[in-house]
Structure 1
């Protein structure tokens, strides 16, 4: 049986998603809990690897097992062996062709940015931070050049293992809510560090360090050295992974975060 799981996690205590020899990753903890519950070794395949400090709201994994349990039992049983920073949200049997990574046709990331002269101790690890005001209109104008299919090599980590730098960005939204700026990135897929590198560039434009046209020049150059430094991971959330309707993957539950109302209007789900 092929089983899909929806997973939420706070990325702060872990060394990213992908399993490492030293342990300490989300995948290590999830597979340990699954194997303990099932009393047999179980391995998972993930929709999208996340870096150290990056959070998961709508992460999706699949695994293959001959063990038959109810969906409720998989959720409650696995969660009983997980640390508090990780929680399985749902479990669903899937048709054999389903693949958590390769069946997905769209990913959505949120970035939460706190704008304040002084950093907040209460937001450590949960939101990015800048101490100077940002010009939203300039960032929105700059982001427009990223929509569509492009070679995103200028925003790609040197450690990226993607076969191609060509990605299709469907949407970039930027909204202000009090002292917070919320970013939403929708694309068919993302390169390693792509969102964080884009954030670094958008913030540089928002601060007035570069004109609006600069981001298009960086994109066209395909040179990582011309872009801004990689921005902090703290406010980055993998929010949702979408699949064809033939695969009954539940929509991500975003109401578990206090700022979810920012994206709760009908236009935000388009």
Structure 2
């Protein structure tokens, strides 16, 4: 058996998330079905980080074992023939014995887009959260600084989060406007708790709307209580 590492890109709009769920269309389900068509094997993949319904991926890392002797580039070509149009295999390579996409992930990057103001663009309906008023960028940046570092992020985790520890390292957070005028929130972390990134975004949006003062973020973090943080930003951006 050999161990392969695969990098995927996908549009999460029409998926019920990454993980296989009975009766639901999922990225994992589509990928494993395509791998079976290529290899004739029943393959279970390991993913660096599961994504929720409606969440997209630019570089999702997956690992799996196979008895197939196909070259990595043949796997990529074969997957792109069998995968649906909203999932693409970008590259593949042989991985060392024991490599595990989840366990060996060194960090994760999450990007959230916001279209704030009076302009509504049809082509962004599945790509950016629509907020009809302008957000205060500097206030959001000031609030975000309090979150950087290793902390207990219980105030930002879902009640259904199954992580054994709420302590994560948020290594970096940037809030800026891109060339299209959208507000971009980039987060880099050792790992994210369930809904952690979107709850941070929702709390920052409340700060940018003037509903919270930037200085309050320290208290929200220290509370270790989900009720202290803001609403979770939407996953489908509609």
Q: TM-score, normalised by structure 1?
A: 0.85
1:234 Cα deviation (Å)? 3.7
Q: Deviations over 1:136-193 (max 9, x none)?
A: 1111110111011100000000111111000001100111134301111001000000
1:196 equivalent among 195, 198, 209:
198
> Aligned partners of 1:219 and 1:79: how far apart in 2?
43
Determine the structure 2 residue equivalent to 1:78. 79
Conserved 8 A contact 1:53-1:233: yes
The answer to whether the 8 Å contact 2:53/2:236 transfers is no
5 Å matches for 1:41-190? Answer: 41-177=42-178, 178-190=180-192
What are structure 1's unaligned runs of at least 5 residues?
Answer: 236-270
Superposed CA deviations along residues 218-262 of structure 1, whole A, max 9, x for unmatched, are: 110011012111111246xxxxxxxxxxxxxxxxxxxxxxxxxxx
Farther-moved stretch of structure 1 (174-183 vs 41-50): 174-183
13-22 vs 114-123, which moves further: 114-123
Q: Which residue of 1 aligns with 2:17?
A: 16
1:168–1:188: 8 Å Cα contact kept in structure 2? yes
Alpha-carbon distance, 1:119 to partner: 3.1
CA distance in 2, matches of 1:225, 1:133: 25
* SS of equivalent to 2:146: helix
Cα deviation 1:53-91 (Å, max 9, x = unaligned): 000101000000111111110001011111100001011
Higher RCO, Cα 8 Å, sep 6+: 1
Q: Deviations over 1:177-220 (max 9, x none)?
A: 34301111001000000000000000000011111111111110
- 2:208 aligns with 206
Task: Find the residue that maps to 2:63 and give its secondary structure.
Answer: strand
Instruction: For residues 121-147 of structure 1, give each alpha carbon's deviation from its aligned partner in whole angstroms, at most 9, with x where no partner exists.
Output: 211111112111111111111011101
TM-score (norm 2): 0.96
Partner Cα separation in structure 1 for residue 132 and residue 216 of structure 2:
22
Q: In the TM superposition, what is the alpha-carbon distance from 1:118 to its structure 2 partner?
A: 4.6
Measure, in 1, the Cα distance between the counterparts of 2:26 and 2:208: 34
Q: State the Cα RMSD in Å.
A: 1.1
Alignment of 1:256-267 (within 5 A): none
Instruction: Determine the C-alpha separation between the residues in 2 that align with 1:234 and 1:173.
Output: 22
